[in-house]
Chains A and B, each alone.
Chain A
Amino acid sequence: MKRGALLLAAPMSVAVVFFFTPLLLLAYRSLAAPTGALTLDHYARFFADGYYLGGLGVTMGTALLVTLITLTCAYPVALSYWRASPRLKSLLIVLLLSPFYANIVVKVFGWMLILPSSWLNGYLGVLIVSVHRDLPFMVLLLASAMTRIDPDWIESAQTCGATPARVLRTIIWPLSIPGVVSGSTLVFSLTMAAYVVPAIVGGPWRGRFLPVSLYQQMTIAQDWAFGAAIGVILLVASLITIAAGNWLIKHSKAGVLVREGFDA
């Protein structure tokens, strides 16, 4: 226990210095009036202005949409990966990780060669590029949850009369929920906080994404306090959504897995 605490001390101090302190500074900045007194004016401005409130809706809605599309695309890939032979698996993992070999900007140029440029200069572009960026994360987290599904459970279900579709619906899907939750949480947070993708492919939509607004406030409008308020709102909205997702999962049928760990 003591040794564990000691081992944790180094990464914890890094987190405190380089993560929590800037966050606290950001939060403080969002509450500071030009006079130095504390004020909620910046938040009031955000929630009174339909433009920013709409931006919050666009950002969260897009993150949710990207999460759903990524999950839908990744699930069959994860299933095939999970059922593949060890040899095929090592090939698949190389292909799966290939998006990481190139920078996001390079990937966007790649997309420009394939897709009509009008698709990439707008909302659709944000969706396509975000899903492409997030897919490997989702597949890997889903597949790692699936490796905990005992093949005996599937064979038991088959002998009980379950067709492949029923096995998927009643056994594999509920038992992969922990991976669905972790993958969705990661993709949702990544997309909520993404700046580069909406900035370069968002076209007329780019300013509707809060990370881009935040950047514009801080660098163009030079309004650091309002930018900080946007940052805090973005963070809190992200945390609330993730907490709500976890709560829903824990109180669903598959919750017993998340609560108890299913090979207990």
Chain B
Amino acid sequence: MAAVRIEGLSKSFNGHTVLDIEALDIQNGEFFALLGPSGCGKTTTLRSIAGLAEPDRGRIVIGGHDVTTVPTAARNLGMVFQRYALFPHLTVAENIGYGLTEHKVAPSERDARVADTLALVGLPDFGARYPHQLSGGEQQRIALARAIVYRPDVLLLDEPLSNLDAKLRVTMRAELKRLHWSLALTTVFVTHDQQEALALSDRIAVMRDGKIEQIGTPSQIYEQPASIYVADFVGATNLLRDDGGRTIAIKPERVRLAAASGVDEPGVIVGVSYLGSAYSYLISVRGQQIEARTAQPVMFGGRAATSGDTVTVIFDPRDARVFP
């Protein structure tokens, strides 16, 4: 049985459709990402699941119960907000214990579960502090602890990593994955960061203008994009026009370079960038630009390829997607 089921959900704002989802099933224990640029409807979808946004039409079913008209407080959800939204007048322990009190858990059990959850998020001695005394990463963990302590049916995460610096974001990604694995909690995650979605999720729904463009596993989304939009949004993708006016999508790491020898139209390297984990070559061929990425520098006759070199661009047609 699906943990969350969305049917015919739609919402308009000033005559403009902001959300239009025919059907979406999120499985039990799944880590599900809603991915898309800002304004694509991903946050509205999450807020509709939470009962914080009221859809014009449609049904939301959580754990087999139709909750469309059930108020937020009775949906038994955990939610982490983008800016964490810790209660400023309560200590860390009181923040985490808040949901337990509202769920009528006895004080003795509440204190024990707060302590357990503090340990789970790696901040066992933080109970007596106030939110303003915490760093961004610590607030993040406490917000997560507050959302999971009462064992919600579904955990909702609204861009929880976007306010952290790059290094902390990667650490917290691993942390989220670990927590999800140990709690087996159905998690719906909203993000505009395709890398984050690919790294964390079991499945991803790519959204555009309020509609779901594609649902699939990270590798399906990445390797077999259903549209030019998905190909372009997920991963840096080369989009080339062929003679028939069709668009060919090919990932830069699937493009190989060889020395130009007896080809009608060789390409010319117009730029080389070192990305740390890869080398990126920008090649101009037939008036179009194509990027190739390699783990090792491309060598021509014992020297590294550089701007101005002529090259042959090679890729396996099976790696490319063709869109009419």
Contact = CB atoms under 8 A, between A and B. Distances in A.
Interface of A: 150, 152-153, 155-163, 166, 170-171, 174-175, 253-254, 256-257, 260, 262-264
Contact of A156 (B71, B79, B89): B79
Query: Which 10 pairs across A and B sit closest by C-beta, in order of nearness?
Result: A160-B99, A152-B85, A161-B102, A159-B79, A158-B72, A262-B88, A264-B132, A156-B85, A162-B102, A152-B81
A171 B88 CA distance: 9
Contacts of B147: 159-160
Contacts of B130: 256, 260
Contacts of B74: 161
A162 B87 CA distance: 13
In this complex, the member of A160, A163, A262 whose beta carbon has the largest number of chain B beta carbons within 10 angstroms is A160
| Contact-residue size bin, chain B (C-beta under 8 Å from the other chain) | 20 to 34
A135 B102 CA distance: 34
Contacts of A162: 73, 98, 102
Contact of B77 (A150, A159, A253): A159
A112 B89 CA distance: 45
A160 B81 contact: no
B321 interface: no
Contact of B98 (A152, A160, A263): A160
B173 interface: no
Contacts of A260: 130, 132
Given A160-B99, A166-B73, 15 more contacts: A153-B85, A155-B52, A156-B81, A156-B87, A156-B146, A161-B102, A161-B103, A161-B150, A171-B87, A175-B88, A254-B89, A256-B130, A260-B130, A262-B89, A264-B132
Contacts of A155: 50, 52, 72, 79, 81, 85
A153 B87 contact: yes
Given A256-B130, A260-B130, A264-B132, A158 B73 contact: yes
B113 interface: no
B76 interface: yes
A160 B85 CA distance: 12
B218 interface: no
A155 B86 CA distance: 11
Interface string B106-150: 000000000000000000000000101000000000000011001
Contacts of B78: 159-160
A159 B50 contact: yes
A263 B50 CA distance: 26
Contacts of B156: 159
